Amino acid sequence: MSKPIIVIKFGTASITHKSGELNEEILQEIARQVAVLNNDYQIVMVSSGAVGAGKSFIKNYKGTIAERKAAAAIGNPLLLAKYTQYFSKYGITVAQSLCERHHFANRNQFLQLKETYQELWDNGIIPIANENDVVSNLELKFSDNDELATLIATGFGADTLLLCTSVGGLLDAEKNIIPFVPKVDASVLGLANDDKSSLGLGGMISKLTYTRLATRMGTRVVIFGMKPEDGMLKAIENKNGTSFAAQKVALNARQKWLASGSLIAGKVQVDAGAGLALENRKSLLAVGIKKVIGVFEKAEVFEILDEKKNVIAIARARESSEVIIANLKTQNFLVANADDIVVL
């Protein structure tokens, strides 16, 4: 049997000094602990840090889009070279995987990515993923690498997603780490602040947002820190950081991809009757729609909102938004087939 999959994400603040230079002591510890986990898991690492590693080479760096892209172009090979150096001590080869958002939105491209990673694993190689900042379209970027790590974890059916953070976990009001969270709800989201490091893009709000998605898709999440001895090894055993329980789901691989990897093109708001029908795994008909929000084409993906504007499902459209609006009162007009709807 193949090994279970884990995805481990390291943010910029976790692997660099405040100056932006790579923290080589942390990189060495990452390599050592990942080498231990590699015996029992198929691993994908998601590592930020390229911009931080490369920005010192840009004169009068101010953080503009062009400067960030240039810094990433410099920093990516520097970052991979350091990982290569430290993993080689354990006889492990690493591979760079620069991803863009459309690789996940397009089902065929996503399946090709899975096949590539499987080939790497079959040859004992660990892929290290990062966003392709140099060429990524501004309108189709990942919000941050928390999203990239989550899309890989949910799309690949990972057992566990580990998110490394400089604060060590989710903190309560007294700044103590909460060891276990059964479900990410409004009260849990309320514990986060929007602090971000000067180098990275994400924060605890981002981590909790994608933790909620991952756990809803059946993946356990642990937000942890590397400061404790064997921090990563303890995190996988729920002995370091905050562990978030995976929710029970009955979704196949395609449905998980649809719910997590698709680019959302629009929204529709439905009435209570349609919402109940969706819960019972029925198709969405036009007569149950109260409002169409945004413009989308046939086969694009849209969110389904209930009467309180809460997102309750994701669906692939059978018709364009224009055609749907023209048929809102048409009986038995199919907007989305049950097989193309994922109830959240």
Residue positions in the annotated binding site for ATP? Answer: 9
Main-chain dihedrals φ then ψ at residue 334, nearest 5 degrees = -85, 120
The count of C-alpha atoms lying within 13 angstroms of the C-alpha of 3, restricted to the half-sphere facing its C-beta, is 16
Please give the C-alpha separations between residue 238 and each of 149, 167, 178, in angstroms, as whole numbers. Answer: 19, 16, 11
Residue from 241, 248, 324 nearest 14 by CA:
241
Instruction: List 90's β-bridge partners, or say none.
Output: none
108-115 long-range CB contacts below 8 Å, 24 or more apart? 110/155, 110/257, 110/261, 114/155, 114/156
Return d(Cα 280, Cα 282) in angstroms, integer: 6
Known binding-site residue numbers for substrate: 48, 133, 145
As given in the structure block, the two tokens for residue 294 are 């945004």
Rounded (5°) CA angle 317-149-102: 40
Annotated binding site: 9, 48, 133, 145
Cα 81 to Cα 77: distance, rounded to the nearest angstrom: 6
